[in-house]
């Protein structure tokens, strides 16, 4: 099982040694008993170590924190610095680095902080990528991290152990969080392998190796109100390819692209909303009417004031102030709008 996790270690507050010992014993036995190794805390010094089933000390009691991270590895904290040990107690990465590190035991890489900058080292402490990044973002379960340098964004591949996209892009959207302004957050429950990048106010898509699949030629999808202020619009933040299609904006109108960048639905709509739960999407016309489009990108319903697929079998529609129900996929009226 692979482990890709954020290591954000904190220290315990002072408390009775006995209580602290019991809590630590329970937590770490649960975490690493499958390896027949157990993290314990010295009740006198408060430092942690590791023993095996025979009570032999595998890792001496000299670490402020020890956290099992899978495949027999332990992230360690010594003198307030982060490092890495293996299950035999060998020091893989010395305690030289700051907190907020990313570790990937499958690819055996450690993304760590040194002198205020992030870089990538392997499990032998060889520097794979120099310490040059201001920040890192884990927005997907894939082997890719978003990085920032000099205010611009790029991509690091943990699998390839290198920078796959230079830090020259204005924005990058990937993974589960598509939009977050501190008040409203849009999440994508089915993130794909395509990553959206913004360059010179134009959007495009790259794959997990940083290769462009769709060039940066589509308009920024920010929706501006009449006074020039940004108006939140959920449909315009689905940058990330989802279910074989993603909205794009051309000449102020929204259409659909497939994974290869083909325009599978021309840009003729005001909005397009893709649901995480159903294959049907709702398109809003320039006349503010709505219709349904199926997974084959075909218009299947008439135009209504509002319509949305409730599930794969039914959709709710609205005429004026009244609601009704239609069946799917044939879009036959079941209940009149009353």
Number of domain units in the chain: 1
Nearest to 259 by CA among 243, 235, 275: 243
Instruction: Note whether residue 65 is domain-resident.
Output: yes
Structure tokens at 105: 């035991």
- DSSP E strand boundaries for 87-126: 91-104, 109-114, 117-122
The pLDDT averaged over each successive group of 10 residues in the chain (338 residues) is 36 32 41 69 94 92 93 93 94 93 89 94 96 86 88 93 95 66 56 80 87 84 43 46 71 82 87 77 90 91 94 93 94 92
Instruction: Note whether residue 271 is domain-resident.
Output: no
Instruction: Note whether residue 314 is domain-resident.
Output: no
Beta pairing partners, 121? 110, 127
Instruction: Note whether residue 39 is domain-resident.
Output: yes
Instruction: Note whether residue 176 is domain-resident.
Output: no
- The boundaries of the domain holding residue 116 are 1-132
Distance CA 11, CA 19 (A): 15
Distance CA 114, CA 324 (A): 61
Instruction: Note whether residue 36 is domain-resident.
Output: yes
**Residue 222 has what pLDDT?**
44
Q: How many residues does the chain have?
A: 338
Instruction: Note whether residue 245 is domain-resident.
Output: no
Asked if 315 and 328 touch (Cβ cutoff 8 Å), the reply is: yes
Strands 171-173 and 162-169, by their bridges, are: unpaired
Instruction: Note whether residue 125 is domain-resident.
Output: yes
Question: Hunting for tokens 């080292």 — which residue is that?
Answer: 121
Burial class of residue 146, CB neighbours in 10 A (0-12, 13-18, 19+): buried
pTM of full prediction above 0.85: no
């Amino acid at each position: 099982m692979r482990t890709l996790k954020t290591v954000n270690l904190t220290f315990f507050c002072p408390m009775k040694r006995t209580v602290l010992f019991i809590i630590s014993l329970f937590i770490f036995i649960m975490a690493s008993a499958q390896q027949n190794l157990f993290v314990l805390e010295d009740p006198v010094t408060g430092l942690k170590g590791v023993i095996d089933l025979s009570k032999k000390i595998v890792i001496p009691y000299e670490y402020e924190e020890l956290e099992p991270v899978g495949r027999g590895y332990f992230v360690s904290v010594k003198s307030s610095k982060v490092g890495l040990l293996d299950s035999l107690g060998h020091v893989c990465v010395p305690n030289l680095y700051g907190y907020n590190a990313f570790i990937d035991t499958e690819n055996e890489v450690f993304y760590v902080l040194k002198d205020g900058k992030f870089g990538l080292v392997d499990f032998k402490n060889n520097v794979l990528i120099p310490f040059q990044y201001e920040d890192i973002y884990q927005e997907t379960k894939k082997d890719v991290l978003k990085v920032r340098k000099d205010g611009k964004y790029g991509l690091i591949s943990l699998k390839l152990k290198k920078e796959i996209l230079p830090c020259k892009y204005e924005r990058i959207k990937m993974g589960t969080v598509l939009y977050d302004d501190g008040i409203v957050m849009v999440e994508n429950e089915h993130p794909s392998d395509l990553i959206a990048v913004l360059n010179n106010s134009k959007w495009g898509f790259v794959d997990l190796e940083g290769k462009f699949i769709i060039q940066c030629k589509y308009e920024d999808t920010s929706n501006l109100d009449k006074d020039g202020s940004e108006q939140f619009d959920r449909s315009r933040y689905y940058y990330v390819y989802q279910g074989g299609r993603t909205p794009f904006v051309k000449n102020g109108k929204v259409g659909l692209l497939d994974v290869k960048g083909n325009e599978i639905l021309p840009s003729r709509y005001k909005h397009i909303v893709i649901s995480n739960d159903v294959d049907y999407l709702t398109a809003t016309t320039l006349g503010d009417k709505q219709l349904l489009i199926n997974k084959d990108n075909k218009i299947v319903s008439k135009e209504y004031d509002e319509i949305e697929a409730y599930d794969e079998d039914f959709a709710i529609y609205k005429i004026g102030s009244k609601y009704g129900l239609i069946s799917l996929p044939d879009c036959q009226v079941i209940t009149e709008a009353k």
